[in-house]
Structure 1
Amino acid sequence: MVGALAIDDRTAAASLIRWWRDVGVDTLVDDTPRNWLAAPKPLPLHEQGSPAKALERPTSAPARQHLSAEPEVLPATLPELLDWMRESADVPEARWGRHRVVAAGNPKSDLMIMIDAPDGTELVGGETGALLDKMLKAIGRDRGTIWLAPFATIRPVGRVPQDALRRLAAIARHHIGLVAPKRLLIMGDAPSRGLLGSEVVPARGRIHAIKLKDATVEAVATYHPRFLHERQTAKAQAWKDLQLVMKGL
């Protein structure tokens, strides 16, 4: 009986070691032992500088500095911008897919709606599109009386990378400036982050002022119809946002 227990123990130990080896935890990242609790060694005198300089030395890693760059030159007219967004290999989302969908509707409208990205080959289609049409009807509008634009012409897989978000926001601001609407309704987290600096939940419920090159556009953030289709309880909040964006139009 004792011998059987010893064999079982050896078998269990071998199985555990084999599992560690399979998941890669059998090897130390650093073979050199170190005392993680030891106080940091003082700098040599030639590196310390004056006492005042020592006090000025940051105790944590400095914040990442944003590199300045020349502003991007974008097409000067709305038709040229739409063609560029549809065909250029230089748009941020060029590698996300092949089929791009650009803005549609009435570019002279006083109301511009910016969604995060198209639904496949349509700006907003299917049941989500039907819900958008109902939302527009509730405020006396339809797709022919607004300018409906995507923040990105192709839907990304996952969250929009930060570098792409910055470029998309710059393009969106230029787009808004060319249309010059009286009000902008932002639907979805990506355009809200890019244009307002925060996601929809903290941004909604008030009017934001987006300062452009030659004008200031008032904007309201709300949920995308896609989200509302999944979260019916948020429709009451979205209705308040719609009333807010229509106030004064």
Structure 2
Amino acid sequence: MGGRYSALLAESYCDWWSLAGVDSLVGEVPAGWLDVPVANDVAGQTGTARSGSAPMAEPERVVLHAALQRQEDPAAPQAKTPAVFPGDWQAFQTWLCEGEDVPGTQWDARRVLPAGKAEAPLMLLTAWPEIDDQREGILFADEAGKLLDAMLRAIGLSRADCYVASLAVTRPPGGRCDARDAAELDRLLWHHLRLARPQRLLLIGGDIVRMAAGIALPDARGRLLDINQDGGKVEAVAVAHPATLLARPVQKAAAWDSLKLFNRGR
């Protein structure tokens, strides 16, 4: 760029900046543009005065809410010791009702207790209560219970003749338990059978069949199972839970194939 207009253009720029008020520094004390800002100046934060500036006050300490403060690492929980099962029948029944260390009671506060007496002609055993059972407070409630009663009548028995129990007195979330809980329930299973001393055993539902007989429910169809108990054997058969039979009537034939084995020799 050159010519006679250059000087006029430069003069115009200077006039504009002058009118805008940016032709000089603002303030009585000249600013040091290369100085470190006070917020980042360690000396300024600790109260050390910089040359030509007043000492900075100590910043106010912000106190965090208790929920946001660093918490001490909690002590490692102690390993839970195995429950001690009462060896007396009445004490065992009371423990199932009131004991704080009954396996499975951590799942729910609503316990569904066994009904009947020891040495019954037939023990009905399922893994845990159904949702309807917990609501009604008895095992095999509502329509499932009616179907079970009909199944018992077919082999010449009633519920009053039987000892009716679930392995766990509460229901696990989703009807499933982890390996640690399953190990405690396994101990409880054999102790419960040892005290109950049933003449025969009806396993109801796939979960209890796997725990007591070590096989899947379909493999137990029409088979008389021998459950070892204190050196002896208890005759047992396995059927699907009545609630399952109501939902899947096609499985009723398999349940009858197993149930009618109790009629042999009658």
TM interval, shorter chain, is 0.5 to 0.7
- The corresponding residue for 2:151 is 135
DSSP-derived class of the 1:219 partner: strand
SS at match of 2:173: coil
SS of residue paired to 1:184: strand
Identity of aligned residues (%): 37
- In structure 2, the partner of 1:24 is none
Aligned length: 180
Q: Is the 8 A contact 2:238 2:255 kept in 1?
A: no
Matches within 5 A, 1:1-249: 73-118=84-129, 119-120=133-134, 121-158=137-174, 159-248=176-265
Contiguous gaps of at least 5 residues in structure 1: 1-69
Q: Give the distance between the partners of 1:127 and 1:238, measured in 2 at CA.
A: 17
Shift of 1:102: 1.7
Q: Per the alignment, in what secondary structure is the counterpart of residue 104 of structure 1?
A: coil
Distance 1:209 1:166 in 2: 21
1:84-114 per-position Cα deviation (integer Å, ceiling 9, x unaligned): 1221121221211111112112433221110
1:71 and 1:160 map into 2 onto residues whose CA distance is 17
Question: What is the aligned-residue RMSD (CA, Å)?
Answer: 2.0
- How far 1:203 sits from its partner (Å)? 2.8
Query: Rg: which structure is higher?
Result: 2
Equivalent-residue separation in structure 2 for 1:74 and 1:247 (angstroms): 36
- Give the 3-state SS of the residue equivalent to 2:157 in structure 1: coil
| TM-score computed with the length of structure 1 as normaliser | 0.67
1:11 corresponds to: none
Indicate if the aligned counterparts of 2:121 and 2:162 stay in contact, CA closer than 8 A. yes
Report deviation, 1:235: 0.8
Q: Which portions of structure 1, spanning 4 or more consecutive aligned residues, are displaced by more than 4 angstroms? A: 70-73
Gaps of 5+ in 2: 1-80
Output one character per residue of 1:112-160: Cα deviation in whole Å (capped at 9) or x when no partner.
1102222212211111111111111111111110111112111111212
TM superposition score normalised by structure 2: 0.63
1:112 maps to a residue whose letter is: M
